[in-house]
Structure 1
Amino acid sequence: METEKFKLHAPWPPSGDQPQAIESLLEGLNHGEKCSTLLGVTGSGKTFTVANVVAKYNRPTLVLAHNKTLAAQLFSEFKRFFPENAVHYYVSYYDYYQPEAYIPSSDTFIEKDASINTQIERMRLATTKSLIERRDVIVVASVSCIYGMGKRENYEDAIVNFSVGERWNRRSFQEALMKAYYERNDFDLQPGKYRVRGDVLELYPVYSDATLRFSFFDDELESIEEVDPVSGHSIARKQHVSVFPAQHYVTSDGAIAESMDKIKRELELQVGRFKSEGKYLEAERLGSRTRYDMEMLAEAGYCSGIENYSRYLDGRAEGEQPGTLIDFFPPDFLMIVDESHITLPQVRGMFNGDRARKEVLVEHGFRLPSCLDNRPLKWHEFEHYMQRVVCCSATPGDWELAHSKRVVEQLIRPTGIADPEVEIRRATGQIDDLLAEIQKVRGAGGRCLVTTLTKKGAEELAGYMSTLRIKSEYIHSELNAFERAEEINRLRSGDIEVLIGVNLLREGIDMPEVTLVAILDADREGFLRSYRSLVQVMGRAARNVDSRVILYADEVTDSIREAVGESKRRREAQLKYNEEHHIVPQTIHKSIERMLPEVEFEAAPEAKNKRAQQHIEHMDNEALEKLMWEAVEKLQFEKAARIRDMIQAMEEGRTPQGGFGDEEGGTGLRAASGNRYKKRKRA
């Protein structure tokens, strides 16, 4: 039976002002207070404090973060704190997403375009499975959790239960799997597929790393085994299994049939309105597009943009809120809002931005008005779920301060590190000055973070530094979650010396190796250079005793003055605590771990190949060869062959090409791996 209690694993007890913070937050929760705020300075161990609260309060927990990179780090930390419990990662599964849109001024219609990350999709499905099966669940999610994903009831109705000894007609068994959106493929068993071999049916659940093997004797289900998909070895025998759907959005033939009449009636009303207003082009456009979608739904059970008809397919009334991930939590769940000063305004703004785009589509005949009900939660709908909330931030926003019955300060870092002193330098000539400072940091073995105002600026600065043989890289929202997590680890390991970004570096990213934080154009008042933003960026330098902060500004703005003043207050509090407790500040030492589960290297799009190439150029042949043999030892032969080809190309003075290398090369490496590995062991 699955454990139902959170078990916190930590090599240290709470220290500094963490014990008082934990006690106060638990007191608020146990007294029924809806909202409390943890004002914790960067590096004070807010996540550890929250982990203790989660363990003691012992409720299913949603940890809400405002971007994928922060969510990845939180996921990694909670996995480490709760290895015996179910910790999941739930973010948007789009690596790239261009929503459907229309620009009236230029009469330009933009088709929906998207690239789905299958690994994240599997993690999302594993999340809902755990929420249904158990209570010791922590879900680290981005704001994508407030977007519609279909009704929970429909999802649960599609779950299929199998038990040993049951009688199943083979055809009915397969039909049950197909209704759960699994497809038959007897040649290549991949997640979301099943295959039949005589009296044995093998199923690869989308949410699992193991396959299920069902063995029949006539029409009796004789055995169920959990099997390793690579070796085929049995992992465990099961008496009962539940197979969860292969996708979240679940509908049925009956629901599609019922929705047809409703779609048709709405179409007739909207076309009639357009014609009465003299909008014949819009009427014709809407009629042709909608009728085509209806034909696809009737024939294939699917159409492009099916989510725009979700109101009818889900059986919802006009204006009724859609089903979201939060509906999978029990009513007594705990919500943690990390970096709440950014996360809550982001949640509040999602609905209006989505609706504004869709209203244009409706008014110009691209979609029916019912598409407006395919939406994220409105703010008041989200507030309904905020019954037990802890907001965490070094700079709490106005909403948290107004709605929290208690604001718990956590200003002391257990390491004794005080907020760094802040130096203000002129923005004129800032790049030359910055390069001189970076050379000092490189000589001491440190790392640098640089924040710019634009993504283009980050890219251009990273490229310029690369020409100076500085190992630099940019990080921004166009990179997928796995790439961003990998960039953070490369900085920490030293593969990157300078990481340049816009605002993804501000909140919650732990990089104790960083000894310099430089903020370019700090006097450009606005969102990216507000008081809260400056405090957050400066906080990246609060994990290393040698860290410094440089603000490049030609004038001292109110935001700069307030941020520097607050930093000074917190610094004095830490220094006083250190003196009273005889603490010598120590740099945080934190192991470098993957924030997200490792995924196989794929034939990457152009942008990813370019970034990989930039990384390779800074590695010598010895480092590349080591990387190649590490891949061999992990049985990643295609990846090893690709690196081998790059080594050969560099030795011959050619530009390394993308791709895996040929199959023969991979086989050759496979054959040689044993002898090479033995030589390395002897050495």
Structure 2
Amino acid sequence: MSEKINTKPFILHSDFRPSGDQPQAIEKLAENLTDGLAHQTLLGVTGSGKTFTIANVIAQLNRPAMLLAPNKTLAAQLYAEMKAFFPENAVEYFVSYYDYYQPEAYVPSSDTFIEKDASINDQIEQMRLSATKSFLERRDTIVVASVSAIYGLGDPDSYLQMMLHLQQGAIIDQRQILAKLAELQYTRNDQAFQRGTFRVRGEIIDIFPAESDDRAVRIELFDDEIERLSLFDPLTGSSFGAVPRFTIYPKTHYVTPRERILDAIENIKKELVSRREYFIKEHKLLEEQRISQRTQFDIEMMNELGYCSGIENYSRYLSGRNEGEPPPTLFDYMPSDAILIIDESHVTVPQIGGMYRGDRSRKETLVEYGFRLPSALDNRPLRFEEFERLAPQTIYVSATPGPYELEKSGSEIIDQVVRPTGLLDPLIEIRPVSIQVDDLLSEARQRADKNERVLVTTLTKKMAEDLTDYLDEHGIRVRYLHSDIDTVERVEIIRDLRLGEFDVLVGINLLREGLDIPEVSLVAILDADKEGFLRSERSLIQTIGRAARNLNGKAILYADSITKSMEKAITETNRRREKQTKYNEEHGIVPQALNKKVGELLDIGQGANQKVKANKQRGKMAAEPTALYNAPKNAKEYQQQIKKLEQQMYKFAQDLEFEKAAAIRDQLHQLREQFVFEN
């Protein structure tokens, strides 16, 4: 793709050495990758240190890697862990940057067209740009991604063509630099210096790179020569020193050279003529008028501004692809020798397979009724077979691998059942359904007295809500995790559970894969004998595993009969428990409680125009931690406090509580004045 500038090796930081099943798993995984094996599975139980094993494999082979997680919460957890293991290397985060997304759609039955509506999280957009930059520039890169990685991204060839290379001593006119920055979609703003903008003061140009969070570059010109290049803190203005060269990357992945836009316009015009002829022939005059009007408006915008709303629907022409060819994705930015690790593969692999079909049916309706040209169908996520072709050497990681991974891996399934800590799988008890609510109340009180936590999983949203109300009325500190809660808030709820802000967390299908909460000593599964997706063998093993990180781990299954799924899950859990017990006896290991530090998983700001749900009647169980705004000690603390206050202000404004919003606005003003005065 491009010549790598940085060839720094991976340096793993950890207070622990591999133990238990980890050494043989690391050796086998690394050996298979070196031998060129395409697929293998790491079957690792909860708490066996799968992430640590993978980190050791990456460090040993010294190859770039992409970790695919099934959702943003687990991606955030993985990102935090990898960041701690590799603080000196490039650990990046690549997930969907939408806080809210409503795709354009047409409902023929009611003749309703829904416009695309989206709210982009500025910080995640910066992290996505940083991820592709690291893949292009550095060998020591780990990108933690969600299935967003299989969605179309800008063409890497266009992206690389558009870069602005700056070098000390280079002869370049100031106007040339400014024109190039405009091409890269940077905007001039001499007042508010923020990401993706530049400012000009005489012969000095300051640029805040789109992929940077805390560093800006200053170009000092003398005549038409770059006299000095330096990096500085855009908040405080303090200098980080001079650099000999610097590359400015485009503000967005979708930037396209002017000549390619003009070529695309010609191809769009040809397709429009063909589509209009088709609609006239079929006597669909409304659709013919609709496609003409919409497409001609888009062509005009692209010609004048270089982009238009919904430009991604013309990605086939902008990236120079033929009909049906896969779109460029994050995989196109990845080095050829990278390793792909699919975490919780039994969930992630089916997700990858399902994305294309859902997107296709919505787009076909838009094309059929004249809202989009047929070429819009090529703006899509990868098909599963395309993903298989693009995927490099792959490690599937799961405690319960699915049939696809087992088939692909063949005999290369590496067991990691023994935990280095000696912790055993939870004891399982079966109790009758008739007493489940009162029995759970009694168990929750016992756990709360010991400063331990409880996870409860129900079958329906209604039952989860009723149970939460019941426990709350009886003095239990409880919260409810449901699908309406956004990613950031979900991460904060889990963090609050660990910190002891409450004792019981109730959920439906959100308390399974990868949730790392050592404080949880009890998992209660209500209606465990209702066979189905939420009570399948895999779901039960995963849910029971949430208590496997605690010394007193126990799982209570409330059931009146034992289903096949329950029987298999109990048998597998007991097998793992016996193997761990035998290992502990042979090596004289006494199980030790995990003392995992509670840190910020990921500091992602919630968008200003986040969609606030109207039904906030569960205020007593709100997931927002109380913030104390003491005087910030440094620039980083200042930024975090500003961000938290702004989030609160926007939230109050959206709830029409303008007095509270105004009070926080005044606080913000005071905080800014205080920081400027002290610095």
Question: Aligned ranges for residues 376-391 of structure 1 at < 5 Å?
Answer: 376-391=381-396
Question: Aligned ranges for residues 354-365 of structure 1 at < 5 Å?
Answer: 354-365=359-370
Deviation at 1:613, TM superposition (A): 5.7
Instruction: Give me the whole-angstrom Cα distance separating, in 1, the residues matched to 2:434 and 2:303.
Output: 65
Of 177, 197, 201, 1:197 maps to 201
Instruction: Give me the whole-angstrom Cα distance separating, in 2, the residues matched to 1:668 and 1:520.
Output: 51
C-alpha distance after superposition, 1:98-156 (max 9, x if no partner): 21222223333222221111110000000011111110100110010011011110111
Helix, strand or coil: the match of 2:595?
coil
- For 1:659, the equivalent position in structure 2 comes to 661
- For 1:584, the equivalent position in structure 2 comes to 590
Instruction: Give me the whole-angstrom Cα distance separating, in 2, the residues matched to 1:293 and 1:170.
Output: 32
CA spacing shift, 1:304–1:550, aligned 2, 3 Å: same
CA spacing shift, 1:171–1:668, aligned 2, 3 Å: closer
CA spacing shift, 1:313–1:643, aligned 2, 3 Å: closer
Helix, strand or coil: the match of 1:255?
helix
- For 1:649, the equivalent position in structure 2 comes to none
C-alpha distance after superposition, 1:437-477 (max 9, x if no partner): 22222121111212233456545544554455533333344
- Asked whether 1:246 is paired with 2:248, we answer no
- Asked whether 1:266 is paired with 2:271, we answer yes
- Asked whether 1:484 is paired with 2:490, we answer yes
Deviation at 1:272, TM superposition (A): 2.3
CA contact (8 A) 1:637 1:670 kept: no
- Asked whether 1:323 is paired with 2:333, we answer no
Helix, strand or coil: the match of 2:242?
strand
C-alpha distance after superposition, 1:474-514 (max 9, x if no partner): 33444333222222211111123222333332111211011
- Asked whether 1:149 is paired with 2:153, we answer yes
CA spacing shift, 1:659–1:613, aligned 2, 3 Å: farther
Of 44, 47, 53, 1:49 maps to 53
CA spacing shift, 1:454–1:365, aligned 2, 3 Å: farther
Instruction: Give me the whole-angstrom Cα distance separating, in 2, the residues matched to 1:329 and 1:270.
Output: 37
Deviation at 1:331, TM superposition (A): 1.1
Helix, strand or coil: the match of 2:221?
strand
Deviation at 1:193, TM superposition (A): 0.3
Deviation at 1:594, TM superposition (A): 1.3
Of 531, 537, 542, 2:537 maps to 531
C-alpha distance after superposition, 1:377-435 (max 9, x if no partner): 11111111334111110001111111114111111111111111122233345333323
Instruction: Give me the whole-angstrom Cα distance separating, in 2, the residues matched to 1:493 and 1:343.
Output: 29
Helix, strand or coil: the match of 2:663?
coil
- For 1:76, the equivalent position in structure 2 comes to 80
CA contact (8 A) 2:99 2:607 kept: no
- For 2:653, the equivalent position in structure 1 comes to none
Instruction: Give me the whole-angstrom Cα distance separating, in 2, the residues matched to 1:615 and 1:202.
Output: 46
Instruction: Give me the whole-angstrom Cα distance separating, in 1, the residues matched to 2:470 and 2:662.
Output: 29
Deviation at 1:554, TM superposition (A): 3.5
C-alpha distance after superposition, 1:586-616 (max 9, x if no partner): 1111001112136489686534995996468
- For 2:562, the equivalent position in structure 1 comes to 556
Moved more, 248-257 or 276-285: 276-285
Deviation at 1:299, TM superposition (A): 2.6
Instruction: Give me the whole-angstrom Cα distance separating, in 1, the residues matched to 2:79 and 2:351.
Output: 20
Deviation at 1:179, TM superposition (A): 1.3
5+ residue gaps, structure 2: 650-656
- Asked whether 1:66 is paired with 2:70, we answer yes
Question: Aligned ranges for residues 81-160 of structure 1 at < 5 Å?
Answer: 81-160=85-164
Instruction: Give me the whole-angstrom Cα distance separating, in 1, the residues matched to 2:312 and 2:607.
Output: 31
Output the amino acid matched with 2:542. Q
Of 534, 546, 556, 2:552 maps to 546
Instruction: Give me the whole-angstrom Cα distance separating, in 2, the residues matched to 1:354 and 1:22.
Output: 38
- Asked whether 1:502 is paired with 2:508, we answer yes
Of 4, 9, 18, 1:5 maps to 9
Output the amino acid matched with 1:508. G
Moved more, 269-278 or 73-82: 269-278
Moved more, 404-413 or 272-281: 272-281
CA contact (8 A) 2:608 2:647 kept: no
- For 1:366, the equivalent position in structure 2 comes to 371
Root-mean-square deviation (Å): 2.9
Instruction: Give me the whole-angstrom Cα distance separating, in 2, the residues matched to 1:668 and 1:206.
Output: 29
Instruction: Give me the whole-angstrom Cα distance separating, in 1, the residues matched to 2:266 and 2:143.
Output: 39
- For 1:651, the equivalent position in structure 2 comes to none
CA contact (8 A) 2:488 2:606 kept: no
CA spacing shift, 1:387–1:215, aligned 2, 3 Å: closer
Deviation at 1:666, TM superposition (A): 5.3
% of aligned pairs identical? 51
CA spacing shift, 1:62–1:616, aligned 2, 3 Å: closer
Output the amino acid matched with 1:340. S
Helix, strand or coil: the match of 1:330?
coil
Output the amino acid matched with 1:133. E
CA contact (8 A) 1:628 1:643 kept: no
C-alpha distance after superposition, 1:641-663 (max 9, x if no partner): 89999xxxxxxxxx997536255
CA spacing shift, 1:672–1:125, aligned 2, 3 Å: closer
C-alpha distance after superposition, 1:346-402 (max 9, x if no partner): 111111111121112212222111111001111111111334111110001111111
CA spacing shift, 1:205–1:290, aligned 2, 3 Å: same
Of 413, 424, 427, 1:421 maps to 427
Moved more, 244-253 or 180-189: 244-253
Of 322, 339, 342, 2:347 maps to 342
Deviation at 1:214, TM superposition (A): 1.0
TM-score normalised to the size of structure 2? 0.91
Output the amino acid matched with 2:204. V
- For 1:177, the equivalent position in structure 2 comes to 181
Helix, strand or coil: the match of 1:628?
coil
- Asked whether 1:493 is paired with 2:488, we answer no
CA contact (8 A) 1:42 1:394 kept: yes
Helix, strand or coil: the match of 2:136?
helix
CA contact (8 A) 1:638 1:660 kept: no
Question: Aligned ranges for residues 25-36 of structure 1 at < 5 Å?
Answer: 25-36=29-40
Helix, strand or coil: the match of 2:353?
helix
Deviation at 1:181, TM superposition (A): 1.4
- For 1:393, the equivalent position in structure 2 comes to 398
- Asked whether 1:289 is paired with 2:294, we answer yes
Instruction: Give me the whole-angstrom Cα distance separating, in 1, the residues matched to 2:114 and 2:27.
Output: 53
Question: Aligned ranges for residues 557-572 of structure 1 at < 5 Å?
Answer: 557-572=563-578
CA contact (8 A) 2:648 2:661 kept: no
Instruction: Give me the whole-angstrom Cα distance separating, in 2, the residues matched to 1:537 and 1:306.
Output: 43
- For 2:652, the equivalent position in structure 1 comes to none
CA spacing shift, 1:149–1:467, aligned 2, 3 Å: farther
- For 1:453, the equivalent position in structure 2 comes to 459
TM-score normalised to the size of structure 1? 0.90
- For 1:212, the equivalent position in structure 2 comes to 217
Deviation at 1:632, TM superposition (A): 8.2
Deviation at 1:323, TM superposition (A): 0.6
Aligned length: 661
- For 1:474, the equivalent position in structure 2 comes to 480
Output the amino acid matched with 2:239. S
Deviation at 1:270, TM superposition (A): 2.1
Output the amino acid matched with 1:659. A
Deviation at 1:49, TM superposition (A): 0.8
Instruction: Give me the whole-angstrom Cα distance separating, in 2, the residues matched to 1:642 and 1:31.
Output: 52
Instruction: Give me the whole-angstrom Cα distance separating, in 1, the residues matched to 2:191 and 2:378.
Output: 41
Moved more, 417-426 or 87-96: 417-426
Deviation at 1:558, TM superposition (A): 1.5
Deviation at 1:629, TM superposition (A): 2.9
CA spacing shift, 1:580–1:354, aligned 2, 3 Å: same
Helix, strand or coil: the match of 1:509?
coil
CA spacing shift, 1:283–1:435, aligned 2, 3 Å: farther
Helix, strand or coil: the match of 1:423?
strand
